[in-house]
Copies of this chain bind each other. A is one copy, B any other.
């Protein structure tokens, strides 16, 4: 069997790679091989537990692929021969290719906590059947401990707090929830929302052991406290799925990703890698970073897809800016670029400016909602290196204004005179739009920092 192009992986990176190849090179045959037959949209997994009436709503359909003329095969690729240019599947099929795209994603891994193997301890798997099973088990639980206070942990805590009669604890080893994502004051707001929903938060806390005979009945924290629990959800420790690549002799980075060049080609000609399994470089330092986001993955997929048979579209991705958003309780949160904490840690001098405004004007209009925006920028050039926001629904796109600004290396000077659309029912007033206003405050700080 043969296909001009083989894509391994059925997540966003695999799907977009296949669709892009097919649209740019319609004459090429494209085969997408995926392990999970009933895959789901990964970022919506938390909402399959309670928000969705039927978790099947989150299933990924093969229809767009098939409509585009892409073949879809359910199967596991167990080996790759880059000299012969073929892959072998678990069922014994050998399929040759001209170009191969690996989009194998990450796997959740269980941390080496004593008792982690007990019944009642779960990780999050990305198949519909696994999540349906998880949903049913959660509905039988009374006291749940979520291990890990990153995005997935916080989103699960938020979602589970809506289930009546369920006590939800979240345990995080760092000083605050979402600590790598936000500066302190924004982490505090996240915690405030979860506390209001009744979630019990344990930060600065490691897990010493998961206890119980056969079945979990409690969790001991590093500080000595013991939390009764009949369900433990582990949401730390994902790592890139690189076994296939490693065995085929592809170059693997120090942090365990598949090395790729700026056009997502691995060290072996004709073999590409995109998405969470591929090397991610930071936008500012170009050092490797463990940032796994579907938005970066799909951008990489479009880059690879367009350039599989020669470079036609110059790469525009200068490294990941880690742009993301989430909703915790009634508040939406988002970030792009470096937090001020990270910026300092990485040795970048920076200034910050924060403003609070409302997303309506006048603020007495119905549904007006408080919005906070913080910019982190370079003190001399004024180039914006990061932005964080919280507020209501518009936060989801407001962060993308900042994300574009970061990618285009826009300065607070430019934003200060940027033209933006405003409307009483949709945004802050033009006089106090938070992006403009934060840039304006930032300029004042730059002036103050330079003695004239």
Q: Is the pair A302, B416 in contact by a Cβ cutoff of 8 Å?
A: yes
Query: Per-residue CB proximity of A292-316 to B under 8 Å, as 1/0?
Result: 0111111100110010000001111
* Interface flag for A366 (CB, 8 Å): yes
- Take A396-B427, A397-B397 as given contacts and tell me if A44 and B362 are in contact as well, using a CB distance cutoff of 8 Å: yes
How many monomers of this protein are in the complex?
2
**Nearest B residue to A320, CB-CB:** B419
Q: Mark A398-437, 1 if CB is under 8 A from B, else 0.
A: 1111011101101001101111111111110111010110
Of all chain B residues, the one with the shortest Cβ separation from A23 is B444
Which residues from chain B contact A398 at a C-beta distance below 8 Å?
397, 400
Q: If the complex has contacts A404-B418, A408-B410, A426-B396, are A364 and B52 also in contact, measured as CB distance less than 8 A?
A: yes
Given pairs A295-B421, A302-B440, A407-B414, 5 additional interface contacts (CB within 8 A): A296-B419, A325-B426, A326-B423, A395-B397, A396-B397
Contact A405 B403 (CB under 8 A): no
Is the C-beta of A206 less than 8 angstroms from some C-beta in chain B? no
Residues of A within 8 A of B (CB): 12, 15-16, 20, 23-24, 41, 43-44, 47, 51-52, 57-58, 293-299, 302-303, 306, 313-317, 320-321, 323-327, 332, 334-336, 359, 361-362, 364-366, 392-401, 403-405, 407-408, 410, 413-414, 416-427, 429-431, 433, 435-436, 440, 443-444, 447
21 A–B contacts from the bound complex (CB under 8 Å): A12-B430, A23-B444, A24-B447, A44-B361, A47-B365, A294-B430, A303-B417, A316-B414, A323-B421, A325-B423, A326-B423, A327-B423, A332-B423, A334-B423, A336-B421, A396-B427, A397-B426, A397-B427, A398-B400, A401-B404, A403-B419
User: Nearest CB to that of A298 among chain B residues?
Assistant: B430
**Complex contact A393–B426 (CB within 8 A):** yes
Task: Give Cα A294–Cα B323 distance, bound, in whole angstroms.
Answer: 30
Interface centre among A362, A366, A410, A420 (most CB of B within 10 A): A420
Chain B's nearest CB lies how many Å from the CB of A30? 16
Partner of A425, one of B47, B404, B410, B413: B47
Chain B proximity of A293: nearest CB distance (Å): 8
Contact in complex: A52, B416 (CB < 8 Å) = no
The 3 closest A-B pairs by CB, nearest first: A396-B426, A44-B424, A57-B364
Q: Which of these, B401, B422, B427, contacts A401 with CB under 8 Å?
A: B401
In the bound complex, CA of A313 to CA of B296 (Å): 35
Q: Are A407 and B419 in contact (CB under 8 A)?
A: yes
Q: Are A421 and B404 CB-contacts (below 8 A) given A12-B431, A313-B416, A365-B44?
A: no
Residues of B within 8 Å of A52, CB to CB, are 362, 364-365
B-chain residues with CB within 8 Å of residue A299 when the two chains form the complex: 417-419, 436
- Whether B423 lies near A316 (C-beta < 8 A) is no
A424 — which chain B residues lie within 8 A by C-beta? 41, 43-44, 47
A45 → chain B, closest Cβ, in Å? 9
Given known A-B contacts A321-B419, A399-B421, A404 and B405 have beta carbons under 8 A apart: yes
